[in-house]
């Protein structure tokens, strides 16, 4: 039996690694699109084919599509933090445009094209009258990252000849995740920071659940729509920290910081990181998401259409994540 072929861009990243593993489990022939000099240590031993993509070269990418005749494409490549707002647009929007043009130029017929967007493209539910993000809301992204993902979505929704779906993950956590790692590390040092004085309503999805959801989506009969991706639960910020604290078996000193203080810390972090030509997870742009109070989403269609139900909530996902961090010496 001939296996169906799937191309996964950004295959060597945090989410991409789990996508590759899930696609292999489902019997697909996996092709990993990577950039030159990418670190492929997380997937180098898997039974997959590596393709070095130049996302600015439509002709080069088109030749790959013509040669390999993929059945599915998951476009997962992107940038989540950058000191340059233009970098978000170049990578998150323009790369997508070029990939679509390469697909058209090749003349191949896909069963499904899945774009990995973000809840940040819609923005928090703080600005929605009914206090929840649903398919008919007017997007209100509050970061450059979110705005770039929204622009990519707007472009894609106009390409009706492409059988696309859009997945908008909320905060993704799990083994190998780095942006939330600092929260785990601080609690491990017995410091528990909370942002602002009003309650927060947060949503999460475990990376293994997200990968499974995306593979379910490409096999589904649906196209030309978007899905929010969460585990179906809503948590408070205090609860998230509490699950980490319990998993680490730590007592913590709790500090609640006003948003202006967090913004000042982010400013200092940016300046300090700039000395070493890096960009910290806590930056001024990110504060716009941190100060949001509500990230509730309507995810009923995940179950009714994609037959997806999360296997992990925070009570199961946090301990598994903590154990991985410890095993890999990210927590000591």
Q: Among 12-26, 261-275, 296-310, where is mean pLDDT lowest?
A: 261-275
The more confidently predicted of residues 120 and 136 is 120
Whether 265 is in a domain gets the answer no
Residue 122's pLDDT is 97
- For 136-152, the pLDDT digits (tens) are 899 999 999 999 999 99
Residue with more model confidence, 119 or 281 = 119
Banded model confidence at residue 73, pLDDT cuts 50, 70, 90:
very high
pTM: 0.95
Containing structural domain, residue 87: 5-176+201-233+294-311
Residue 239 within a domain: no
Q: Which two tokens stand for residue 95?
A: 């790369």
User: Is pLDDT at 105 greater than 80 in this prediction?
Assistant: yes
Pairing of strands 225-229, 164-169: parallel
For position 170, which CATH number holds?
3.40.50.720
What is the pLDDT confidence band of residue 78, given thresholds at 50, 70 and 90?
A: very high
Domain membership of residue 214 (yes or no) is yes
Residue 327 resides in a domain: no
| Predicted local distance difference test score (pLDDT) of residue 282 | 82
Decide if 15 is inside a domain.
yes
Measured between alpha carbons, how far is 219 from 190 in angstroms, rounded to an integer? 45
In the chain, how many domains are there?
1
**Does the residue 66 lie in any domain?**
yes
Output the CA–CA distances (angstroms, integers) from residue 237 to 174, 175, 185, 234, 290, in the order listed.
17, 20, 16, 10, 10
In the chain, the percentage of residues whose pLDDT exceeds 90 is: 78
Asked if residue 91 is part of any domain, the answer here is: yes
For all residues of the chain together, what is the average pLDDT? 94
Residue-level pLDDT at 145: 97
Counting residues of the chain whose pLDDT is more than 70, the rounded percentage is 100
Instruction: Note whether residue 274 is domain-resident.
Output: no
């Amino acid at each position: 039996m001939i296996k169906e072929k799937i191309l996964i861009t950004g295959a060597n990243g945090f989410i991409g690694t789990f996508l590759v593993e899930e696609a292999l489990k489902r019997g697909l022939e996996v092709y990993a699109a990577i950039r030159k000099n990418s670190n492929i240590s997380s997937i180098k031993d898997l039974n997959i084919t590596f393709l070095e993509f130049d996302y600015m070269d439509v002709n080069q990418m088109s030749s790959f599509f013509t040669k390999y005749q993929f059945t599915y494409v998951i476009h997962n490549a992107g940038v989540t933090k950058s000191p340059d707002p233009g970098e978000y647009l170049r990578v998150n929007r323009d790369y997508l445009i070029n990939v679509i043009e390469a697909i058209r130029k090749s003349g191949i017929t896909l069963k499904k094209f899945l774009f990995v967007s973000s809840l940040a493209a819609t923005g928090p539910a703080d600005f929605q009258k009914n206090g929840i993000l649903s398919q008919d809301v007017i997007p209100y992204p509050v970061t450059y990252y979110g705005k770039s993902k929204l622009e990519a979505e707007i472009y894609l929704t106009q390409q009706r000849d492409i059988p696309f779906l859009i997945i908008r993950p909320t905060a993704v956590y799990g083994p190998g995740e780095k942006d939330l790692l600092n929260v785990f590390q601080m609690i491990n040092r017995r410091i528990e920071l909370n942002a602002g004085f009003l309650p927060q309503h947060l949503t999460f999805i475990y990376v293994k659940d997200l990968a499974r959801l995306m593979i379910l989506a490409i096999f589904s009969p649906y196209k030309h729509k978007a899905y929010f991706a969460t585990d179906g639960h809503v948590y408070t910020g205090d609860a998230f920290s509490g699950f980490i604290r319990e998993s680490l078996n730590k007592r913590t000193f709790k500090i609640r910081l006003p948003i202006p203080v967090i913004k000042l810390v982010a400013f200092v972090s940016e300046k300090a990181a700039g000395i070493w030509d890096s960009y910290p997870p806590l930056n001024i742009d990110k504060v716009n998401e941190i100060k949001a109070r509500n990230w509730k989403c309507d995810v009923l269609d995940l179950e009714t259409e994609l037959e997806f139900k999360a296997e992990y909530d925070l009570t199961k996902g946090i301990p598994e994540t903590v154990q991985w961090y410890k095993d890999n010496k990210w927590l000591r």
